[in-house]
Structures are given as structure tokens and as C-alpha cells.
Amino acid sequence: MTAKPAAAAARATVYGYPRQGRNRELKKAVEGYWKGRVTADALQATAAELRRSNWQQLADAGIDEVPTGDFSYYDHVLDTSVMVGAVPARHRAAVAADALDGYFAMARGTQDVAPLEMTKWFDTNYHYLVPELGPDTVFTADPAKQVAELREALALGHTARPVLVGPITYLLLAKPAPGVAADFEPLTLLDRLLPVYAEVLASLRAAGADWVQLDEPALVQDRTPADLNAAARAYRDLGALTDRPKLLIASYFGRLGQALQVLAASPVEGLALDFTEAGAANLDDLAAVGGLPGKRLVAGVVNGRNIWINDHQKSLTTLGTLLGLADQVDVAASCSLLHVPLDAAAERDIDPQIRRWLAFARQKTAEIATLARGLAQGTDAIAAELAANRADLASRASSAITHDPAVRARTAAVTDADGRRAQPYPERTAAQRAHLGLPLLPTTTIGSFPQTDELRVARADLRAGRIDTAGYEARIKGEIEEVISFQEKTGIDVLVHGEAERNDMVQYFAEQLTGYLATQHGWVQSYGTRYVRPPVLAGDISRPEPMTVRWTSYAQSLTSKPVKGMLTGPVTMLAWSFVRDDQPLGDTARQVALALRDEVGDLEAAGTSVIQVDEPALRETLPLRAADHAAYLAWATESFRLTTSGVRPDTQIHTHMCYAEFGDIVQAIDDLDADVISLEATRSHMQVARELAAHGYPREAGPGVWDIHSPRVPSAEEAADLLRIGLKAIPAERLWVNPDCGLKTRGWTETRASLENLVTAAREIRTELATDGS
């Protein structure tokens, strides 16, 4: 049956696009600026060229309306803080002296001034900088960036739509500033903030904006009646303005729920909704509220977060239903394409047939344009594309890669007992203390040490054939020797080998497991200039041979102190990969857990007494709605225990989490049954230690005392002060001393100084405790 064309021609659009450039030009320019090798003018020229190139790519792909304002040197939430004048007092002088340097100081800190706190953007692996607000906050409009980028796009001949973080989401993401009462609610500042947004909207209209998009993803979370009333008031007031562009309120990452009726009733001209699997209920909810008569609907039918090709027929069915629910239906991805790599066509090392299953940002824009054309002109106009799409979907569904009978049989045989330690924690901790002989407040690091230029050159030389495997491994041994020697001289108690051989904490394992595909150019922004290449989890998972035993054992041979075995946990292996979407996540997690369980067993057999299984993604993968938490946490914690429960009682299991809000998963942290957990705590001033104490967490914990995402070196006294705060929540016999996270992104100079200060702080507190005890 041939679909009829839409009454009004559907337009294709996106909410945002990858910022980095084809060869990560933005990363190189920004880091060059930090090092003094790139001038501010050169950095700004690189940024302008990247924006121009992005807009042209979108236009060439058939995108009718390009976004502006989504580009950022570091983070779009930080850009919003600048736009509304919410600069923390400690950074105002730096911003006044030099706006660009002050901007980066807020993001990274300086030796004298701490940065803004950083945490995960909803349930993604992108990190944003948390606004700091208080009852004395005064907002002032500074739309210079947003106006300038709009004018750039318009001057190049594009139809452009500025994209801003909406006022409700901005306030709900904020935290009380340091020194402000913890129960202060930033949403109470809404009436101060709305006039600033009104001023920004007027400036954008004057610059030529026909539409402005206000992103409100916070409304897909569980919201209180007060939150919904605030949203109703915000869009009633902004909608009532006379000097403004048309407003498109965008939500993504899931179902709007009650907020849909609030926004549908507001005097704005359009809504953008997620209609992929995560937001599928929006379709029924939209019909239930009577649709959007007189409004524009931007339908997010192409998944903006995963990299699998779209099911065009399914999307066209959804779009056909939506035609009867709004005056104008346009086509988009479900969210910004910031969360996917740039171009699958660049992945020449992936089998061409498998590559046809993949859709990165460029392919997704083509999919969106195809669907818009089909909606506007009828399916006959895209018959060839539909046939190719059906063939590619069928190829993936029937591939042997996606079904390994041996893996499925082993997974089906798992019992509850496989996911439980044989001994309770009190018995285990007694055995571990006797075996390890660690001091009070034992010191350790999280895993990685600096990835130096020499290491990166060695990897490049190996890939290019300039050195052989033996030459490369000799360099790795040399790095491990240096890391072990430094830790011993510094006085660290539980050592790590430094992970010199690892390019990434997920990719390293993915390259050694069946069922995974590695990319060469699949970079995605995690935060600032930190980009990662998430592997593609395409099929059933198994471990052909040991992955980490060799290098861990070599490190252990160099010292009498315990060396931790370092693994990435099953939830993080999924969360930081582009995971298959053709079976439940819990099933995939169990496959990964069994592969890792084999590795844990081999490490223990080789003499490793401390094994860390990192799960930094446990919190970020938490569903946005509370009703979905229990089911997720059940399989997530079970997969961790399945990984770690086969060891002896005197083998100490550690885990690590960082840069997330931990308060609402403390019970899940407890359910992991790890012997020791290390967590990021510096920027939040030990908040997680208080949360663990409030829960009654019974095991050992190391809330971090060094913020490794800032270049500043903390003094020994700063670390000691944090430990004193930690000791108010966690007894000394259960408190560990460690950085917030791994040290891969830091340089050796700051690493040496910071770890020396960390050890000095631990010794100082041990002395205080001994004195108090006497």
C-alpha cells in the first residue's frame, strides 16, 4: 500500500550534531590553547570552521532546518550558565579578566580555584557542569554566543533554529552553591530567571530567529506537582511574550507523562517528542490529550543514542498516525546526535555487510531526510531506500554473529547460587585483613596512570609496523616498572599496574571478546576534550582467552605489595558500548558477566589477591522513571555478583564509581556485595560518604580526595580535611584513601605531586587517630 503524502510538506531537522570534527579538530585546538600553542583567535577560527562544516553536512544530507547554539567549547550547560549570568563568585574575576580563560576555569578549575561539579547528563555517558545557585543569585542575560552562531548560520544561507537548555531543566539540574543550605531548591529562582530568557529570546528574534528550541529533558523524569506547576507557569509566561520567536519545546530520552498535558496546553507553537522505544508511550499519551491542534510536532523517530540502522517502515507507521494529531509533523532524531559518532562510512576495517547495519550521525541525518521525503511525497518516492533498509534489517537478524548456541546454553544454566559469595562479609573481611596485612586508612589508586605521549606513539608505531610486537611490549613493561616503582617509593599500600597497555577501559576488553566490533573513528564526547570510542556490541559474548592476567602478574612480580587486577564490569561494558537492541539488556549483561567471571577466576589462580571490577556506569544507566528502577537494578547488580562471586573469601573484591548522583542507588551499591567501593567525592565535598552512612552501608569505602578532572594539585592538608569529613561518616577501620577516578588524563608531574600529598594526608590522619586513641 502506498502511503499518502502529508498535507503540509514534512521538514527534516536535528537537535544537535557532534562537535569535534572528523579528526577531532576541536579537541586538538582546545588542548592546544590550554598549552599555549594555539591562540584564542586560532581556536575561534577552528570552531567557526567546524560549525560551518557541520551545517553544510546537514544541508547536503537534506536537513531543512539546522540547529545553532548546540556547539560548545566544553559543555552546553556551562554555556547556559554563562548565558544567564550564573557565574560562581569565585570565578567572576577570571571571567571579567578574560571571558574564554574564565570559561575554562569554571570547567577545569585552576591551582587556586575549584571548578564546577561535573556529573552525568541524564542516563547518558555525557557529563555536564552543574550550575551553582543560591538565594542571592542574580541572573543577567548574555546571549552573545547564541546570537553570533545564529547569525553565522543565517549568513551561510541556512534555515536555522537556535537550541537552548530550557529554564525548568536548567534549574532542576542545578545545585545549591557552596555555603548555601543543602535544602535550597534552585527552582524557587524561576521568577528571576524567566525575564532573562525573555531577553535572550528577544535578542534571537532580532538576529533573525523564526523558531527557538528550548530543551526540557528533565520533564521526562518523575516530577512533583510543584515541578509541573513551574513548567506550566514558565511556558505560560514565555508563550505570552510578544517580542519572541516561535517556541519549540523539546523533550527526549523517554516519555513525558503528565508533563505532556502541561506543555500541550501552553501557548507555545510546537513540541518535539521522543517516539523511539524509550518514548513510545508518547504516541498514546498524545492521542489521549487530543493531539496538538494548531501546533507543530517534531517527531523523534530515529534513535539518536544508538548506532543501529532505523526500521523505516516502523517509523513511517508512527509518522502516519501522528499526521492526524498535529497541524505540522516534522521528522527528527529522538535527541541530539551529540551521543553518536560522526560517520560509519569511515569504518573501513568493519566488514562491509556489517557496516550496513550501522548508522552514525551522517547516516542518521540521511535516514531522517528519507523519512521526511516519504512522509511528504509518499512511500513510492523512497521505494529504493525502503527496499535496501528491509534487506539490511533482515541481514542483521539472520547473522551468525548474533546467535552463539554455546553462549546461550551457558547463560541459561546460571543459578541464583552463581551470583552469591559463599561467605558473608564479616567472615570475608577477617580473612582479607589477615591475608593482606594493610594499615589503617589504606591508600590506593583507581587503576590507570598517565597515558603519556610516548605510549600513544608506541601504539601508533605498532599499528603502522614501525615497531614489532616485542618492541611494543618492551615499552609496556618499562611503563609498568616505572608505575610500580613510583607507587612503592611514595608509600601507596595497594598498587596498580597502571594500564599502560589499554587504550580505553571498555574498548580494551571489547577487542578481546567475541561479539564486539571495534571502530577506528567512532569518537563520542564524554566531557570537555575527553572523547571515547565506544565499541559496538553486536552479537553473543564470550572470552576466548585471558585478557589481563599477563600484565597484572608481571606487575606483581616486581613488588611484595598487593597489585590489583583491574576489570571493567558488565553494566559499564554495556553502557559505554553501543549495545545490541535485539534482546533484553539483562540477557546481554549476563553474557558479559560470565566472560568476566572467567577472567576473575584466572586472576585469582595467578595469585592476584585484590580484584577491582569497575562499575562507573551503574548510576548513569538507571532508568529516568522510578517505576523502572527495580527491574534494571535487579539485573545490573546480579550481573556484577555473577562476575565476582566465584572467588575465595580472602580475595578482596573492589568496585569503583564516579561522577554521578549516588544517593538514589545506595541500596544497589550495597547489593553488589563488593568488599570495598571507591567513589568520586571531592567536588561534592564527601556527600557520598554521608549518603553511605545514612544508609548504614556495612562494608569498606574510599570516597575520593583528589579531583582528577582538574589540573590543580590538591595540597596534603586539603586531602586531610576531606578525610576528616569522611571519618565523620565512615569508621576509620573501613575508610580507604584514593583519588576520585583513574589518572589516564593527567600528566606525570601533577600525578606525582598529588599522590605524594594523598599519602602524606593519610599518614597525618593515622597519626591523629593514634594520638586520639592513646
- The set of catalytic residues is 709
3-class secondary structure, 677? strand
547: its cell numbers: 585478557
Cα diameter, the chain = 87
Label the pairing between strands 536-542 and 514-517: antiparallel
Q: Strands of 578-579's sheet, edge to edge?
A: 514-517, 536-542, 578-579
Say how far apart CA 656 and CA 444 lie, in whole Å: 12
Question: DSSP per residue over 261-326, as a string?
Answer: HHHHTSS-SEEEEE-SGGGTHHHHHHHHTT-EEEEEEEEEEE-SSS-BPP-HHHHHHHHHHHTTTE
Q: CB within 8 A of 152, min separation 6: which ones?
A: 48, 51, 52, 68
Expressed in angstroms, the distance from the first to the final Cα of the chain is 87
Instruction: Give yes or no for a contact between 736 and 471, defined as CB atoms under 8 angstroms apart.
Output: no
**Amino acid at residue number 562:** P
What does each C-alpha distance from 566 to 242, 338, 493, 498, 739 come to in angstroms?
A: 59, 30, 16, 9, 16
Instruction: Give yes or no for a contact between 706 and 682, defined as CB atoms under 8 angstroms apart.
Output: yes
Instruction: Give yes or no for a contact between 433 and 482, defined as CB atoms under 8 angstroms apart.
Output: no
Q: CB within 8 A of 242, min separation 6: which ones?
A: none
Question: DSSP per residue over 459-489, as a string?
Answer: HHHHHHTSS-HHHHHHHHHHHHHHHHHHHHH
Say how far apart CA 613 and CA 603 lie, in whole Å: 12
Say how far apart CA 424 and CA 649 lie, in whole Å: 9
Say how far apart CA 433 and CA 425 lie, in whole Å: 12
Say how far apart CA 135 and CA 180 lie, in whole Å: 8
| Cell 580507604 -> residue | 736
704: its cell numbers: 575520593
Say how far apart CA 740 and CA 688 lie, in whole Å: 12
Q: How many residues in the chain?
A: 774
Q: CB within 8 A of 28, min separation 6: which ones?
A: none
